[in-house]
Amino acid sequence: MKKIERGAQFVAQNLQLFCCPVCQADFTKVVEHSVFCAHKHQFDLSKKGTLYLIKHGVTSDYDDDEMWQARRILLQAGLFDPIIHAIIAQMDQPTNANILDIGCGEGSVLHRLEELRQNKTESYVGFDISKRAINLATQQETTGFFCVADLAALPFRDKSFDYLIDIFSPSAYHEFKRVQTDQGKLLKIIPNANYLGELRRALYDKNDEKHAYSNQKVLDLFYQHYPEAKTQRISYEFELTPKLFENLLKMTPLQWGASKARLQEVAQKGLTKISVDVTLLMGEK
């Protein structure tokens, strides 16, 4: 089956998940490779089987093929595996669960979740604001569906997802709560002070504001919306080969504010391991 046909099939079988980004009406039908809402707004599937569900043009610092390819290499090498296992440990095995990957990037996390969960009754949807990332995500061998969408105006119906996965993405909690089922969970990963600490300290001097990091504001905001939230710290070291380190530099936004001279120096010296230090936030309504 072609990707466009697979995408059309997924939407047709899961119309109850989607709503129109233009008028917020429900999606009602799929005709060949086009999707229609109740007010007859039309959205055409791409050849890769994706939908563009943003009603305005967007620009993103993350719309970079090289960065997304580097992320895929690191994730397929296992960089986030302990994080993904911790997320899965907080998920039940309900029948017909709907799972949303917020800011899914090039799709590796969604693919790994599906691979580890091994539950064919579940529906997986990943979205990102980067069209390049979504195009790469369609290369994954997954039954999931990918679309271009804006987290501040989610093209999904109220109470449509049992699990919302958010790894390092920004948050629009009013929208997250809207699409979260009454018994659903938001599982959000935020970096701690020592996340990629070796690289941060190598790239920035002590007097630079990027030399240190605090997630307190992000944590406080989460508790404002989910006062009964639970947290779990996940901390480990990940071994790097020279090639993996090269891709780590391409993948992380930490490089964006560093001088070219410092980047070249760090690239030459390299790192043999990196610290992954994050907090899993678990929010229920």
C-alpha torsion 84→178→8→58, nearest 10: -80
Question: Which residue numbers belong to the known binding site for S-adenosyl-L-methionine?
Answer: 80, 106-107, 195
The residue count of the chain comes to: 285
On whether the CB atoms of residues 212 and 193 are closer than 8 A, the answer is yes
Report how far residue 107's alpha carbon sits from residue 110's, in angstroms, rounded to the nearest whole number: 5
Question: Which residue numbers belong to the known binding site?
Answer: 20, 23, 37, 41, 80, 106-107, 195
Enter the tokens of residue 21. Answer: 């980004």
Report how far residue 2's alpha carbon sits from residue 199's, in angstroms, rounded to the nearest whole number: 42
49 CB-near residues (< 8 Å, 6+ apart): 2, 3, 4, 5, 6, 7, 8, 10, 138, 145, 146
On whether the CB atoms of residues 280 and 87 are closer than 8 A, the answer is yes
CA angle 189, 77, 6 (to 5 degrees): 80
Instruction: Spell out a b/e string for 113-126, using b for 16 or more CB atoms within 10 Å of the CB, else e.
Output: bbeeeeeeebbbbb
Of 100, 106, 98, which Cα lies nearest the Cα of 133? 106
Question: Which residue numbers belong to the known binding site for Zn(2+)?
Answer: 20, 23, 37, 41
CA angle 226, 228, 232 (to 5 degrees): 95
